[in-house]
Amino acid sequence: MKLYKAYAKVNIFLKITGARGNYHEIISRFMRVDSLYDELSFVAKNRDDAFKIIGEFSCKTEQNTIYKAYIALLDSLDETPAKSLKNLMDKYAVEVKKNIPAFAGLGGGSSDAATFLKMCNEVLDLGLSQNELALIGLKVGADIPFFIYGYDSANVGGIGEVVEEFKEELLDFEIFTPKIEISTPKVYRAYRENFYNPIDGFKVEKLKKTPSLDILKKMSADEANDLFKPALQEYKELKNYYKYGYYFSGSGSSFFRVKERKQ
C-alpha cells in the first residue's frame, strides 16, 4: 500500500505567553524538516483483531500516539464509519519506519499520529476536514494540529491549537540529537518553578511577523527558546553537546542550525 511521510519539525523560537491550568500557553514558529521523516503504511496482518503497530518503539502500544489517535478518531465517528475503521485495523497493521528520534523535540510522535489520522481519512473516505482532524489530534497531543495542516512554516499559539501559516522559504537544517531522553513535563515544571517570565503581547506580535532566518540571526539559543535554560538545569549533560550557533528545538534534546549554502 501507499507510503506516507511523517515529517519532523523544529521550533525556530518557543516563548511562553502564560498559563492555562496545568498547561503553558506558547507562541512558537514551527518549521517542517523536509530531510527527516518517518514512513507509515498499512500492511496486511493475520486477523488477530488486536490493533497492531510494527516498528521500533520503546513504549507499549496503548501508550503510542498512533494508538491514541486511533481511539480519539474512533470516539469521534458515527456508528457506520467507526465500524469501517475497526474493520480496517482488524485487517491491517500500521508499519512505521522510524527515522525521527524519540524524546528529541522534533515532533516525531505527533507527526506519526497526525499522518495516521490523515491516512484513515483518505483510505476510508471519511470526509473529515483539516479542522476536524486537528481537533481530534489535539485530544492526543498539542503539536498534532501543525502536522495535520501540513504547512511549511506556521506560528503556533495557545496550547498548540492555534496554527497560522507563515509564508516563507523552507530552510535546510543540520540537526543532531544527543542520546538524552528528555521529559517534556519535567522541563515545563522546571520552567514554571524557576524561570517563569511570560513574553508580553507586543513582543509576540513582532516575533510572529519576523522571518525565521532573521530570528536565527538575531537571537541566541536561550533567547529563542524559553525551555533551553530549564532543560539545561534538569539535564546538566546537555551542556556537553551545545555548540555555539546551534538552537534548541522544543523541550529538546535536539540542536539545529541552518545548513550553510555551498557557493
Active-site residue list: 9, 143
In whole angstroms, give the CA distance from residue 140 to residue 67: 10
Q: Quote the Cα angle for 6-13-72, to 5°.
A: 40
Contact 30, 156 (CB under 8 A): yes
Catalogue the E-assigned strands of 45-68.
53-54
Q: Return the closest-CA partner of residue 7 out of 208, 228, 170, 242.
A: 170
Binding-site residue set: 101-111
Contact 6, 39 (CB under 8 A): yes
223 grid coordinates: 533567547
Estimate to the nearest angstrom the gap between the alpha carbon of 136 and the chain centroid: 15
Binding-site residue set for ATP: 101-111
Alpha helices, DSSP H only, in 77-151? 79-91, 108-123, 130-138, 144-149
Q: What is the dihedral of CA 255, 141, 226, 173, to 10 degrees?
A: 30
Catalogue the E-assigned strands of the chain.
4-20, 23-44, 53-54, 92-97, 153-158, 162-165, 173-176, 247-248, 255-258
In whole angstroms, give the CA distance from residue 183 to residue 225: 16
**Under the phi-then-psi rule, with left for phi > 0, alpha for psi from -120 to 50, and beta for the rest, what region is 166?**
beta
